[in-house]
Amino acid sequence: MVEQAATQAPEAPSGLSSSAHRDTTRASNKLEVRDLNISYGGVSALRDVSLDIREHEIFGIIGPANSGKTSFLKAINRMDMFNKNMQVTGEVLYDGHNTRTLRNVYALRSRIGVVFPLPVGLPMSVYDNVAMSPRLRGIKNKADLDEIVERCLTRAALWDEVKDRLTTLGSLLSGGQQQRLTIARALSQEPEVLMLDEFSIAVDPVTTMRIEDILKELRNEITIVLVTNLVQQARRLADRTAFFLMGDCVEIGETEDLFSGNVTDQRTSDYIAGRFG
C-alpha cells in the first residue's frame, strides 16, 4: 500500500508540503508522535506514546505480541478509519503536519507505505502489480512504465527472477517472491516512509536476508519503520529501537546501546535476552 512515481518528483498533495519545502526546523525528524493513545472498543492497546523518527534512519520496534506495535503503524497513516472499533487520540506529525487532521488521507498514504506480514499479490500480472499505482497517477507511456517496473523489481531484488514472466499472475509466485513483489509495489509510489510489519514471517531465511540487504540500501533514500519480533533482526538493521510492552513504549535508544545492556529499564534487557516474550 504505497505510491509514487519515479521519473520526476510529484507535486505536493493537498495538505502536505513536499520534503524540499517543509519547515527546516523539523528537517531531522520525519515523524513525531505525541501522546498517542489507541483503544479498541474502549480496551487500551497503546498508551501515551511519544517518540520521534528521524529522516533516513531505520527505526526498529520490538516487543512481544499484543504490545501495540501493529496498531502503532496503523495509526501513523490513518488506517484506523477502516476499523470503527479503533479509537486514536494524540498527534502524529509527518514533516510537521498533523496527520490526524489532514483531509486528504490518500495523499498521506502515498507518502507513507506499509508492507504487512502476509504478502498479498493483487489478482493481476507481476507487471501490473507494480505498474498499477503509476497508472493511477496518470503515467500511461509504456516506456515510462517499463522503466518504473524494472527499477522497482530490481530494488526489491526480484527482477532477475521474474523478468521473463512479467505476465504471470503475481499470486502464483512463491511466498518469498510475493513478499518482495509487495515491496516493489510499495516502492512504485516512491514513498518517503516505508513501514514493514513482520515482513519475514512468511519467508525463508535466505529471502529474509536478501530483503534485509534491500532495506540497508533503501535507508539512503527513505525512512524505514521496522516492526519485528526477531530481536537480532532489529540489531542487524535498526539505527534506533523502541521496546513496546503491553501497550507501553518502555524504552527508546540507539540499537547497539540497548543490545549492549545500556538500558534504563531492566525489562528491555530481559526481553532482548529472551527471558520472556
**Domain residues for 262?**
24-124+191-272
Question: What is the per-residue pLDDT for 121?
Answer: 65
Structural domain includes residue 54? yes
pLDDT in tens, 190-226: 899 999 999 888 778 888 898 899 899 999 899 999 9
Pairing of strands 240-245, 58-62: parallel
pLDDT in tens, 120-164: 767 899 999 999 999 988 999 999 999 999 999 998 889 999 999
Structural domain includes residue 175? no
Lowest mean pLDDT among 9-18, 151-160, 228-237, 258-267: 9-18
CA gap 22, 30 in Å, rounded: 10
Mean pLDDT of 261-267: 95
H or E segment to which residue 75 belongs: helix 69-76
- What CA–CA distances, in Å, run from 192 to 33, 36, 73, 95, 104? 17, 22, 15, 10, 17
Long-range contacts of 171-175 (CB under 8 A, 24+ apart): 171/121, 171/122, 171/123, 172/121, 173/121, 173/126, 175/119, 175/202, 175/203, 175/204
Structural domain includes residue 163? no
Structural domain includes residue 143? no
Indicate the pTM of the whole model.
Answer: 0.86
Structural domain includes residue 164? no
Number of structural domains found in the chain = 1
Statement: residue 19 has pLDDT above 60? no
Q: Are 219 and 167 in contact (CB under 8 A)?
A: no
Structural domain includes residue 131? no
